Amino acid sequence: MNAGTHRPTIIEVDAQAIRENIHHEIKRLHQGNDLFAVIKANGYGHGLIEVAHFVVEAGATGFCVAILDEALELRSAGFSQPILILGIVEPQYAQLLADNKISVAVGSLAWLEEATKVLQSDQPLRVHLALDTGMGRIGFQDRDELKPAIDYLQAHSEQLLFEGIFTHFSTADELDDRYFKLQLSRFNEFMSVVPKRPRYVHVANSATSLWHQVCEGNMIRFGIALYGLNPSGEAIPSPYVLKPAMAVSSELVFTKRLKKGRSVGYGATYTAQEDEWIGTVPIGYADGYPRNLQGFHVLVDGQFCEIVGRVCMDQLMIRLPREYAVGSKVVLVGKSGDQEIKMEEVAEAAHTISYEIVCGFSARIPRIYLHNQKS
Q: Give per-residue pLDDT as tens, 21-51.
A: 999 999 999 888 999 999 999 999 999 999 9
Q: Quick check: 18 and 44 in contact, CB under 8 A?
A: no
pLDDT band at 251 (very low <50, low <70, confident <90, very high): very high
- Helix (H) or strand (E) segment spanning residue 343: helix 343-349
Please determine, for residue 304, whether its predicted confidence score (pLDDT) is greater than 60: yes
pLDDT band at 215 (very low <50, low <70, confident <90, very high): confident
CA distance linking residue 39 with residue 22, whole number of Å: 13
Q: How many CA atoms lie within 13 A of 171 on its CB side?
A: 14
- Which residues make up the CATH 3.20.20.10 domain(s) of the chain? 15-227
Name the DSSP letter for residue 83. E
CA dihedral 187, 189, 194, 195 (to 10 degrees): 140
Q: Is 257 labelled as part of a ligand binding site?
A: no
- Which residues make up the CATH 2.40.37.10 domain(s) of the chain? 246-341
CA distance linking residue 189 with residue 151, whole number of Å: 17
Please determine, for residue 375, whether its predicted confidence score (pLDDT) is greater than 70: no
pLDDT band at 374 (very low <50, low <70, confident <90, very high): low
Percent of the chain with pLDDT over 70: 99
Percent of the chain with pLDDT over 90: 91
Q: Quick check: 219 and 34 in contact, CB under 8 A?
A: yes
Return mean pLDDT, the chain. Answer: 95
Over range 197-218, report the average pLDDT: 89
Please determine, for residue 214, whether its predicted confidence score (pLDDT) is greater than 90: no
> What is the per-residue pLDDT for 166?
96
Long-range contacts, stretch 211-219, CB < 8 angstroms, 24+ apart:
211/172, 211/173, 211/236, 211/239, 212/169, 212/172, 212/177, 212/180, 214/184, 215/184, 215/187, 217/33, 217/166, 218/30, 218/32, 218/33, 218/34, 219/33, 219/34, 219/35, 219/36, 219/62, 219/164
Over range 294-312, report the average pLDDT: 98
Over range 74-102, report the average pLDDT: 98
What is the model's pTM?
0.94
Among 56, 189, 214, CA closest to 134: 189
Q: Is 75 labelled as part of a ligand binding site?
A: no
Over range 316-324, report the average pLDDT: 98
Q: What SS3 class is residue 259?
A: coil
Strands 263-264 and 270-271: antiparallel
Instruction: Looking at the structure, give the CATH architecture of the domain made up of residues 246-341.
Output: Beta Barrel (2.40)
**Residue 41 φ/ψ, nearest 5 degrees:** 55, 50
Count CB atoms within 10 A of the CB of residue 23. 12
pLDDT band at 3 (very low <50, low <70, confident <90, very high): confident
* Higher-pLDDT residue of 128, 31: 128
Q: What amino acid positions are annotated as catalytic residues?
A: 40, 266
Please determine, for residue 7, whether its predicted confidence score (pLDDT) is greater than 90: yes
Class of domain 15-227: alpha beta
Biggest CA pair distance of the chain: 79
pLDDT band at 2 (very low <50, low <70, confident <90, very high): confident
pLDDT band at 1 (very low <50, low <70, confident <90, very high): low
Name the DSSP letter for residue 366. P
Total residues found in the chain within this entry: 375
Among 16, 24, 15, 74, CA closest to 222: 24
Q: What SS3 class is residue 272?
A: coil
Q: Which residues, in sequence order, are bridge partners of residue 258?
A: 276
